Amino acid sequence: MSNTLNSLTATIEQYQKNIDQMTIQTQEDLEKFRINFLGSKGILKDLMSAIKDVPVEEKKQCGHICNEFKKFVEIYFEETKKRLNIAVISPKGHIPIDATLPVYDQNRGSHHPLSIVRRDIEHLFSKIGFIVVDGPEIEDDWHNFGSMNLPESHPARDMQDTFYLSHNPTYLLRTHTSSVQARVMESTKPPIRVICPGRVFRNETISARSHCFFHQVEGLYIDTAVSFADLKQTLYYFVTEIFQQNVQIRFRPSYFPFTEPSAEMDIQCLLCAGRGCTICKHTGWVEILGSGMVHPQVLENFKIDSNVYSGFAFGMGIERICQLKYRINDLRLYSQNDIRFLKQFTVK
């Protein structure tokens, strides 16, 4: 055995005796020990560097001795740390992760139910070729009303109590996302197949059944030979997929200035299975959206030839879909930031 190896072995044995005689009682003492033995300029670093001076035939034996001493130091350090019940902070200020500690359940964030339903609706319509389009919440009168066959004197404007900007009454908070459809028709040639989700505003009294702002998804499909049958099958696909069951539906004639003919679609109340409750007003049916064939005048407003093209449009409130999907009976819950309500939608 060479003198270098003998000297290295004797040095390590002395270090082990010194460690056995140590009495570490504080975090500061333990940190000094770590720096002295395990630091980047510590004793172990010097011992490993000394291996290069050992003859080649003894390097393996020398490396084994040094590694055993390193394990001895690390075990002593970890056991002392556990005995003192402290976390040692490194010079960079980071607390090392101890993978042996038990895992505690962390507070997970949650998706808002309206975001969940909006994402599901976008996904379902994207699967059948609809493109998701967004638009401004502050709109001009033309895109929100005039282009949708609602001139200034039209009585249907009274159906929507509008928030106008006080300094410029020609601008307003959009009352529906039809304004996004208008911008699409203005800039895109048919065929057009889009859905327009977003927040809309109406000056209504806040209650369990209404709010001054809510969320809509409106859809538009324009092409040659589009029929009312296409509209019905598209909407039947939607309700079947969103509620994951065979839902009973019905169409009722209605009136919207921008569609002709127009219809509202009801589904059998999912909360009472059609038996009658306060949500369905004891009728067994709940209206979830309005729809119809795009009015020829609306097409002409955007220089789309109504003799060549036809289309359908529909619009639904995300809150209503969410209400039926998750059995939520008060619209105010969506905007109150009640953690007890939101926790129900935590991702598992």
Note down pLDDT in tens along the chain; length 348 residues: 567 777 778 888 888 888 888 888 888 888 888 888 888 888 888 888 777 777 777 778 878 888 888 888 888 888 888 887 755 444 455 556 667 777 666 667 788 999 999 999 999 999 999 999 999 999 999 999 999 988 887 766 665 688 888 888 889 999 999 999 999 999 999 999 999 999 999 888 887 777 888 999 999 999 999 999 999 999 999 999 998 888 899 999 999 999 999 999 999 988 788 888 877 888 889 899 999 999 999 999 999 999 999 999 999 999 989 988 888 888 888 888 888 888 888 765
Residue 92 lies in a domain: no
Do 71 and 210 lie in a common domain?
no
- Give 295's DSSP letter: P
Residue 105 lies in a domain: no
Cβ–Cβ < 8 Å for 163, 142? no
Q: Measured between alpha carbons, how far is residue 249 from residues 238, 246, 283 in Å?
A: 11, 9, 13
Question: Where residue 204 sits, what CATH number does that domain have?
Answer: 3.30.930.10
Total domains present in the chain: 2
Summary count for the chain: helices (H), strands (E): 11, 10
Do 9 and 121 lie in a common domain?
no
Q: What are phi and psi of 110, to 5 degrees?
A: -135, 150
Residue 107 lies in a domain: no
Which residue, among 254, 316, 329, 297, has the nearest Cα to 125 in the 3D structure? 316
Do 208 and 306 lie in a common domain?
yes
Which residue, among 16, 22, 159, 32, has the nearest Cα to 91 in the 3D structure? 32
Do 78 and 117 lie in a common domain?
no
Do 73 and 148 lie in a common domain?
no
Residue 96 lies in a domain: no
Do 210 and 275 lie in a common domain?
yes
Which residue, among 290, 300, 295, has the nearest Cα to 311 in the 3D structure? 295
Sorted by sequence, the CB contacts under 8 Å of residue 326 that are 6+ apart come out as 113, 344
Sorted by sequence, the CB contacts under 8 Å of residue 185 that are 6+ apart come out as 147, 192, 220, 222, 298, 299, 301, 302, 304
Element (H, E) at 196: strand 192-201
Query: What's residue 94's pLDDT?
Result: 57
State the residue range of the domain holding 123.
Answer: 113-345
Residue 108 lies in a domain: no
Do 59 and 132 lie in a common domain?
no
Query: What's residue 147's pLDDT?
Result: 93
Q: Measured between alpha carbons, how far is residue 92 from residues 49, 77, 88, 96 in Å?
A: 25, 19, 11, 11
Which residues face 250 on adjacent strands?
A: 266
Do 50 and 122 lie in a common domain?
no
Cβ–Cβ < 8 Å for 45, 99? no
Cβ–Cβ < 8 Å for 242, 325? yes
Which residue, among 154, 179, 151, 174, has the nearest Cα to 164 in the 3D structure? 174
Residue 104 lies in a domain: no
Query: What's residue 64's pLDDT?
Result: 82
Do 73 and 154 lie in a common domain?
no
Q: How many CB atoms lie within 10 A of CB 59?
A: 14
Do 165 and 35 lie in a common domain?
no
Residue 187 lies in a domain: yes
Residue 103 lies in a domain: no
Do 282 and 175 lie in a common domain?
yes
